[in-house]
Structure 1
Amino acid sequence: MTFDILKKRFGVGRRVDDFLDKVSESGMLFQLGVEAYLKANQESFAKKIEDISTVEHVGDALRRDLEELLYTQTLIPDSRGDVLELLESMDGLLDRFKGSLWRFDIEQPDIYPELHDDILELASCAVECVESMVRSARAFFKDLTAVADHLHKVSYWESQSDKVSTRLQKLVFNKDDLPLSYRMQLRDFIRHMDKISDRAEDVADKLRIYVIKRSL
């Protein structure tokens, strides 16, 4: 089952795909940015900050364009509220990636080498979680029966993110030779990255309800 409007008005379908592409792209830039930061590659990190800010700007413009189309042209009136909420929630995930990368830039945490692999794994879990959410959203617009195939992966990656986050926090607080303020800063960074996966699962929970409503 698909939205009839996406069959009849290819422009709308293309905009939805373009918007979801930006959410996906923000995740890739986030992961590359974290890698560059840990390698102390300041030039590459600064470029990823610039790129993700541009992607966020384009994504916002696409979302606003879609919202205007849904309102002014009275498209899919029965599902319009759900679609608008889904678009806004997906845009929120893009913002999370950008905000987390900017936080590295602003606070410049000194992450000791023993944590690097786990930090990269945590970033990867967040990206995989959101990417699964992007695939779920695409299926919602194109093939409702395929949504469940992707939603369970959102839950899987959120669970993996929690495990890595917990392991990292234990490592940080087991380092008695580190100042408490430093350990708390690292803890906050770890939690902030983990929140990306949490928010993706929140969106997945909403999407499950939208799918049920569409199936009635």
Structure 2
Amino acid sequence: MALVLKTTKFVEAQIDTFLDIVSDSALIFRFAVDDYLQERTSQFEERLNLIRENEKKVDDLRIAVERYLYERTLIPENRGDVLAILENTDEVMDHMKDTLMQFSIENPEIPSVLDDLWLQTTTASTAAVEQLVFAVRSFFRDLSQVNNFIHKVYFFEREADQLGEKLRRQIFSLDIDLALKSQLRWFAIHIEQISDYAQAVCDRLAIYTIKRQL
């Protein structure tokens, strides 16, 4: 891995592992939502535990990189960009974990008529995270490719927004209790927001990329 920034093999390996875990977690999240919709409760809980473990691993990796960069000679401007990217990407992980945890705690009753749109929204939102991982990898490997992946993140974020709106409209068209509608809306929004978090990272990543190219 030939990093654009001047770092060591230790940092390269830590960042690679960090991004692998984030990518895996996006897939796990998608499968977990499908498990929940299909009432595979034990499998859902297993995936939640995996996300929890991954979130802890990501935190540990981020902290290890932060400590190393502060102790070594990477110039402050570059160091700040690297740390911000890792911290912002870590927030995406936190949001995925927290959303699944709330499913486990509240156990919302999702009418089966919503399953298709629910899974479509989840797929689009997590696809944004997968493209974010590619964008971040490119930032360290090949700056010329970053904007290609950022564009894809924006595409999936818009797709998640559109599908999420359809999902919320369908929720409120159902003949169910208003309290359940409100609860389901909360979960729909939080799934949709995964792509918003990915887009927010890319907004900053785009700026860092321009800085590196000057």
State TM-score, norm by structure 2: 0.96
Shift of residue 52, structure 1, vs aligned partner: 0.8
Quote the Cα distance in structure 1 between the aligned partners of 2:118 and 2:5.
43
Matched residue, 2:106: 107
Match of 2:40 in 1: 41
1:149-188 alignment runs, 5 A limit:
149-175=148-174, 177-188=175-186
Displacement, 1:147?
0.4
Question: Which residue type is aligned with residue 32 of structure 2?
Answer: G
Q: Counterpart amino acid of 2:191?
A: M
Q: Deviations over 1:83-122 (max 9, x none)?
A: 1111000001111111111111011010000100111111
The aligned counterpart of 1:62 is 61
- Residues 197 and 188 (structure 1 numbering): CA distance in 2 closer, same or farther, change over 3 Å? same
Matched, 1:193 2:191: yes
Q: Is the 8 A contact 1:19 1:62 kept in 2?
A: yes
CA distance in 2, matches of 1:77, 1:183: 49
Rate the CA distance shift 1:76–1:20 in 2: closer, same or farther, 3 A.
farther
> For this pair of structures, how many residues does the alignment match?
213
Taking structure 1 as reference, are residues 84 and 112 closer, same or farther at Cα in structure 2, changes over 3 Å only?
same
Cα distance in 2, alignment partners of residues 207 and 5 from structure 1: 17
Q: 1:30 to 1:180 in 2, by over 3 A?
A: same
**Structure 2: gaps (5+ residues):** none
- 5 Å-filtered alignment, 1:12-91, equals 12-91=11-90
CA distance in 1, matches of 2:38, 2:50: 18
Contact 1:56 1:94 survives alignment (8 Å): yes
Structure 1 unmatched runs, 5+: none
CA deviations 1:119-139 (Å, max 9, x no partner) are: 111111111001111100000
Q: How much does 1:75 deviate? A: 2.0
Q: Deviations over 1:61-102 (max 9, x none)?
A: 000000011101122433111111110000011111111111
Match of 1:171, as an amino acid? Q
Q: Deviation string for 1:1-37 (max 9, x for gaps)?
A: 943534xx22211111000111111111111111111
Separation (CA, whole Å) in 1 of partners of 2:32 and 2:97: 10
Question: Which residue type is aligned with residue 159 of structure 2?
Answer: Q
Q: TM-score, normalised by structure 1?
A: 0.95
Contact 1:155–1:201 (CA<8 Å) still a contact in 2? yes
| Counterpart Cα distance in 1 of 2:176 and 2:42 | 29
Paired residues of 1:52 and 1:98 also in contact (CA < 8 A): yes
Aligned twin of 1:207: 205
TM-aligned CA distance change 1:76 to 1:135, over 3 Å: farther
Answer yes or no: is the 8 Å Cα contact 1:3–1:76 preserved in 2.
no
Aligned to 2:124: 125
List aligned pairs for 1:128-147, cutoff 5 A: 128-147=127-146
RMSD: 1.2
The percent identity for this pair of structures is 38
